[in-house]
Amino acid sequence: KKFEEDEAPKSLKSVGLIIGVTGIVGNSLAEILPLSDTPGGPWKVYGVARRPRPNWNADHPIQYIQCDVSDPNDTESKLSQLTDVTHIFYVSWTNRISEAENCEINGSMLRNVLRSVIPNAPNLRHICLQTGVKHYLGPFELLGKIQLHDSPFTEDLPRLCVYAAICKHEGKPLHFPGSKATWNCYFEASDADLIAEQHIWAAVDPYAENEAFNVANGDVFKWKHLWSVLAEQYGIEEFGFVEGENRGFEEMMKGKERVWEEIVKENQLQKTSLQEVGNWWFTDAMLSAPLQMPLLSMNKSKEH
């Protein structure tokens, strides 16, 4: 049978399951997948997150599922019903005090999802697992003792903007909270939409099956240069790296919830809590590197 151009057989429809839909990449996936020109479409999309659906995510045409994937019973009861899933986009991660605990909880979360979905989704074709710099590091006790492969690196620019807005609001200088090495080294960034598009490409292109890929914007920068741009954007005259003044974001943002509420109200911003817009421990980890982070290559993606 020949189908009309605007009619697609149901068997060809892709059904995506985004685990971590309220994260920065998950939110981009929720925005891009339902578009009419997205490769592999038309897409039906489920989005999973632990918290109730936030208002800034509510416009995306997805089926939102509130589920704690660290709870095997909650995961089984809710995700085992999704029998039409064809693609899983796993972009969730949680942090614990030690790396052993990180491995345990994040491995458990992934297993809970796969054990709930795989036996009940006969048309499942692809699973995209998002990792990060730790994908390349290996055992943490060897960090700095062996040569590293090219590593992926992402930075969430909105966190820095929140910090700058608070400094401006309180009339404080925009001090760089990281290490001197980070201040002077070259870094790179990965745009959330670019990562989402790479996920989709890897999910639908048969030549990308069973492969690992880097994702980066393709350019580099130094924080000491970007910091002046950030300060200028927010009208802050005093800024930079000051030895002894580089307290971490996590410490500096304690007790700033009310300040952020005032900024949101004064500037008529989308109502959000400080906790929603800033993952401070991660930013601290990125800005406190004791050495030059390796710059990654996109050649493998280009060759595919």
Tokens read off for 246 = 């580089």
What is the pTM assigned to this prediction?
A: 0.78
3-class state of residue 167 by DSSP: helix
Q: Quote the pLDDT of residue 4.
A: 41
Q: Between 157-170 and 223-233, two packed helices, what is the crossing angle to 10 degrees?
A: 50
**Bridge partners, 239 (sequence order):** 174
Q: How many whole angstroms separate alpha carbon 287 and alpha carbon 199?
A: 26
Q: Phi then psi for 56, rounded to 5 degrees?
A: -75, -10
Q: Is the peptide bond before 9 cis (omega within 30 degrees of 0)?
A: no
Fold of the domain spanning 10-130: Rossmann fold (3.40.50)
Residue 5: what pLDDT?
Answer: 42
Which stretches of the chain drop beneath a pLDDT of 50?
A: 1-12, 142-144, 146-155
Ranges of each domain in the chain:
10-130, 157-188+219-303
Task: For 126-155, give one letter per residue: b (16+ CB within 10 A) or e.
Answer: bbbebeebeebeeeeeeeeeeeeebbbbbb
Q: Which pLDDT belongs to residue 252?
A: 87
pLDDT at position 189 is: 85
Q: What is the pLDDT of residue 138?
A: 52
* Cα–Cα distance, 170 to 238 (Å, whole number): 13
Angle, in degrees to the nearest 10, between helices 257-266 and 157-170: 90
> What's the pLDDT score for residue 133?
62
Contacts of 221 (CB under 8 A, 6+ apart): 186, 187, 188, 189
**pLDDT of the residue at 171:** 92
pLDDT tens digits along 101-130 = 988 999 999 999 999 999 999 999 999 999
pLDDT for residue 159: 78
Q: Which residues of 50-72 are buried (b: 16+ CB within 10 A; e: fewer)?
A: eeebbeebeebebebbebbbeeb
